[in-house]
Structure 1
């Protein structure tokens, strides 16, 4: 989504945190935006210097609040995680986002997408992905000598920056982590966490049962040893050496 607020004097420039447009036009588009953003958050959860955002306005040029774009999802390597009202590039060591995703909706026009492509190309995006969930079509573009060029074969394409892989089947797009796990929706992720928690609880229960059985075996062994010692002492009291029996 793009915005064109009016520029005021240099000392009064305001960089709006919203362009006044909704994050998504429909539930399908919203679901895809959230799925990609949240799974990328999981992928880079242990890397404090990868910033990921959804529908965040990106201002590449200080002093100009008319030049901006809000990718559905963007990834910035080399910048710390944390909350931001907008991504003002000059405040971020002048590091531009390297990866952008756009999820199409029926309201997107060819002219709008052409402007977005020109913006991303001009301002340093290295990988750009456009997915149309209604048509189940994916376009992947990679920067070569400063120009975003379409990847000839998107089926099985692996992102050089993210390491994730894209597969199109007859019904939908599948995205896979570098380890082969599939990107899941928030509902699927929640169900997966529940299953993992249940498995962990069951494993803990089995471990506790094994500990209890081991403790019982130890106690039985100690009791048997005690009875053996008592018998030996009794035999000795009768003048019988148990060691030579």
Structure 2
């Protein structure tokens, strides 16, 4: 007798599994945002999600693995937001747009805001924060080096060093989003940071152009372009 393979059933189970995992992650984000990672227990995440303990432990070992999953997912979103701002034109414009794109992500995405506090706890302990920051500064440094080749960034500027400075300053501004600040305030603060940075890195002939760009098109970003990428497994 031939065996019938219920592929439809497998697909339904997979869909339910993905939905369960999503509910657990969303529950953790809500609790971490409300009371902090350190003051949230695994049992609270399970209860808040409405899932059983068995369902939780099918996907996660405990709250630390949930936090790591949030960081991985947010990492993918940040990368998507930053790279989606690059249209293949001016590299310096792309860096400016990219930092604002990530700022808007932190304003509009609860997981991104929570990830700021998780970077200081779980991310630091697991090395995730250092790896993420290094990758981020490398990406900015590479674009600044291209900006030098395009004649916009001064030749005496150290792209990697400035990249680290930009990433550090931008992260500080983005972290403010976790305090529930007004979105327009966040954008204004990032623009103020960039106004100072540009004075030290831009070729004099194009300084006026880039300052105008910063306070015009550069700080505007279409939120539709921040559609979530494929979620990390």
User: TM range, normalised to the smaller chain?
Assistant: under 0.3
Higher-helix-fraction structure: 2
Per chain length, whose mean CA-contact separation is higher, i.e. which structure has more relative contact order (CA < 8 Å, sep 6+)?
Answer: 2
Higher-strand-fraction structure: 1
